[in-house]
Amino acid sequence: MRQAAIQRTTKETDITLTLCLDGGEVSVSTGIGFFDHILTALAFYAGFGLELSALGDLHVDGHHTVEDVGIVLGQALREALGDKKGIRRFGTALVPMDEALCRTVLDCSNRPFLVFDAPMPQPVIGGYDSCLTVEFMRALAVNGGITLHQKCEYGDNAHHITEALFKSLGLALKEAVRVEGDVVVSTKGAL
């Protein structure tokens, strides 16, 4: 089983996460309802097992919780992939959600980079600040060693845009971590 368990405790957050790339139960609790919703969608569409419990300083705002979950999920993804032997490595997905259309293209390359082009028409979705989506994606990419490109082609509703970004991320990850052989997919022989 390709899996990892990470615990991260700071003065701002206390996070426990277990990730299985080959499936399993999904249970997410961060104290931010919409964030729980989109993380659950991410895990579902990736085909991952994910158990996540996060306690954060929500009396301040959601920033530390969202960013730190991205850090921990990225670390778990990197650990679960190990030497990346046999994985497809690249993934892409285009997801419509009502009026919104979002695209994710990624490479599990060990070269972290984020290109994010998804303006949010509304600043808040439930209790979730829509500007936190890019913070999560950056933390995930940097800590997971992922080259990650995301773009909202069009959309008028921040809920739909954010959900389409997370679902397309899940689908692209599902494709990228799929085992198709027994060698590292790189002309260098290593990632």
**Domain spans in the chain, listed from the N-terminal domain onward:** 3-176
pTM: predicted TM-score of the whole model, two decimal places: 0.96
**Interacting residues of 59 by C-beta distance below 8 A, sequence separation 6+:** none
pLDDT category, 184, cuts 50, 70, 90? confident
Q: State the CATH class of domain 3-176.
A: alpha beta
pLDDT category, 186, cuts 50, 70, 90? confident
User: CA separation (Å) from 19 to 53, 97, 133?
Assistant: 12, 26, 20
What would the pLDDT profile of 130-176 be if each residue is shown by its tens digit? 999 999 999 999 999 999 999 999 999 999 999 999 999 999 999 99
Do 87 and 156 meet the contact criterion of CB atoms below 8 Å apart? no
Please report the pLDDT score of residue 185 as a whole number: 84
Interval 180-187 mean pLDDT: 87
